[in-house]
Amino acid sequence: MLLKSWISANRKTQNSGLVHVPAVAKSVAGEVRAFCFKETLSEKLRVSLVEIDCRVCKVRSWRLEDAESIVRHANNRKIWLGLRDCFPHPYTDSDAQDYLRQALSTQPETNFAIAHGDEAVGSVGFVLGRDVERHSAEVGYWLGESMWGHGIATAALKAATAYALATYGLWRIFAVPFCENAASIRVLEKAGFVREGIMRRSAIKEGRVLDQALYAFVRE
Ligand SMILES: CC(C)(COP(=O)(O)OP(=O)(O)OC[C@H]1O[C@@H](n2cnc3c(N)ncnc32)[C@H](O)[C@@H]1OP(=O)(O)O)[C@@H](O)C(=O)NCCC(=O)NCCS
């Protein structure tokens, strides 16, 4: 609760001046129209506000008020089936609050909303590697079922990949979809990720042992 008011207070006092617009002339996305994101500075602490226009959607910073739409879209067994078990199911308001608290307090900011209009309808996020893997990160994403099939996840993944490569100093971004997750594999391939191999019997979901595919986007 304290953290919630602290973040709102600081977000309200943000200096709206444009501080930094990185010039990424050629994004990995190719189709990402405007790789424009704004970073604003708070008087008291640095708070970045990311907003990337991907035409069919936006990839933007999370807001505390997104909790309700997270629950509406994330509380879906079909989404949970494609993800690790740490993604809650059923997905409750308290799960959304916990997630937002964590996302908003993590620096650098690595978890973003996929927004349709202004509504958060999904998520794309990174787990940054450490030590000898510090130039590598894993990407994960999900999208509300009502939004599936319109190229939204692909657009968001392309934009987020371009942003992550430029912002975190990465050479490699990888993903590990279940081999049976054809939609996610298609999204990765459309976004320019390349299959590096199959991790046989590397996961267990709902008691079923599954193969996972390793996909990566590598900046040479
Ligand atoms: C995976 C997910 C993000 C895709 O979102 P989306 O916005 O529908 O994706 P897109 O519209 O950009 O692309 C989906 C592609 O998969 C294809 N596809 C969908 N279901 C498919 C299936 N069962 N078999 C083969 N292809 C399929 C679509 O036809 C489309 O390809 P196309 O543009 O060539 O026609 C969404 O289904 C989801 O959130 N799933 C649950 C969570 C998840 O699995 N996350 C990924 C973890 S690795």
The ligand 1 atom nearest the CA atom of 177: 48
- Choose which residue among 138, 143, 214 to substitute to test ligand 1 binding: the one with the highest number of ligand atoms within 8 A of its C-beta: 143
Q: Is the CB of 74 under 6 A from ligand 1?
A: no
Strand, helix or coil at 190?
A: helix
Q: Is the CB of 191 under 6 A from ligand 1?
A: no
What is the reported pTM?
0.85
Tell me the pLDDT tens digit for each residue of 103-156.
999 999 999 999 999 999 999 999 999 999 999 999 999 999 999 999 999 999
- Which percentage of the chain shows pLDDT scores above 90? 78
- Which percentage of the chain shows pLDDT scores above 70? 78
Domains of the chain: 2-218 (3.40.630.30)
Sign of the four-CA dihedral 211, 92, 78, 143 = negative
Task: Measure the CA dihedral 56/59/65/71, to 10°.
Answer: 70
Tell me the pLDDT tens digit for each residue of 58-108.
999 999 999 999 999 999 999 999 999 999 999 999 999 999 999 999 999
Q: In this structure, are residues 91 and 74 in contact, taking their beta carbons and an 8 Å threshold? A: yes
**Number of alpha carbons in the 13 Å side-chain half-sphere of residue 13:** 10
Residue 74 falls in which region: left (phi positive, over 0), alpha (psi -120 to 50) or beta: alpha
